[in-house]
Structure formats: structure tokens, C-alpha cells
Amino acid sequence: MRISETVLAAIERELYKELKLEARNIKRLEHCDFNSVTTRHHICVVEAEGEPIPRRLEVAKYIWWDMKEHIPIFPHVRKTLSRILSKPLPQGI
């Protein structure tokens, strides 16, 4: 995030810069924010338009996840998703 840039502006800018997607609706989930050892993570749910076109320097690989298939999830991401959904994620996810 740039100095004096809002969280929402940073999300909109980064989404376009990294995937060429236009944010249409951004909802801040401040109750899900967390601090790691070196950074503060601002959590939002974003609705976007367009087809993702990743910039290779920014995003090497991505997937669209329907939360039905099993994928590896870091513990802090699991905790954040559980807070967003207001319930624990199933173990198979």
C-alpha cells in the first residue's frame, strides 16, 4: 500500500495491476485483518469483472477456488476464511 492510499484504493489498483480485473464491489472485513511478523493483512471480499490476465512478474500461478475441491491452505488463510464464513472450514478443504 502506498503512503496516504486507502485500503480500498490499494486493492483496486493491485487487482488491476496483477490480474487486469476491474473491481466492481469491495467489502472490507476489518474483523478478519491480522498482523504477521512483518506485515499487516487487510482482508476484503472483492467482486470483479473481466478475465484474469496475470502479469508473470507479479503472479506466477493462480486458481479460482470453489471451496469444494481440496487445495493446500496455509493455517492463517484457513483461520481467515473461517472468520469470513463465520464457521470452521471442513477438514477436507
pLDDT the model gives residue 6 = 92
Residue 91 has pLDDT above 80, yes or no: no
Residue 30 has pLDDT above 80, yes or no: yes
Domain that holds residue 79: 63-93
- DSSP for the chain, written as a single string: --TT--HHHHHHHHHHHHH--EEEEEEE-GGG-EE-SS-EEPPEEEEEES-----TTT-S------SSS-----HHHHHHHHHHHTSPPPTT-
Same domain, 12 and 34: yes
Count of domains for the chain:
2
Q: 1-10, 28-37, 65-74 — which is least confidently predicted?
A: 65-74
Same domain, 9 and 50: yes
Same domain, 43 and 81: no
Same domain, 11 and 30: yes
pTM recorded for the entire structure: 0.67
